[in-house]
Amino acid sequence: MVTSSVALAHKGVPRLPAGIPQERRELTWRERQIVVLASAGMSAPEIGRRLGISRHTVRNHLKNIYRKCSAHNRMEILLYAMRQRWLDLDGKPRALATR
């Protein structure tokens, strides 16, 4: 694994071994809140009102979430939240992730 990573890095393709999380892919505290609310079926304007931010800000967060999670729709975000154990199997939120 190290040899292939070194070879790729030498070619200009940065890559970390699978077991090492990439910092840029971790969701922020606010993004985690939005994942949970979006998974509950709330729209961007509803999430914005709930969190005291604009719907445009919510949409920007959602774009970042989709990119970081390699998701294409809200169902994939729901599944991601369940894998992270932010939601119970019935889709109800557990305690929101803390800062």
Start-to-end CA span in the chain (Å): 33
With bands split at pLDDT 50, 70 and 90, how would you rate the model's confidence at 65?
very high
Q: Please state, in angstroms and rounded to a whole number, the distance separating the CA atoms of residues 7 and 9.
A: 5
What pLDDT is stored for residue 11 in this prediction? Answer: 52
Whether pLDDT at 51 is above 70: yes
**What is the pLDDT, as a whole number, of residue 95?**
62
SS3 76: helix
Whole-model pTM? 0.66
Residue of higher predicted confidence among 19 and 62: 62
* Residue 54 pLDDT greater than 90, yes or no: yes
| pLDDT, the chain, mean | 77
* Per-residue pLDDT at 55: 96
Residue of 81, 12, 68, 7 whose CA lies nearest to 42: 81
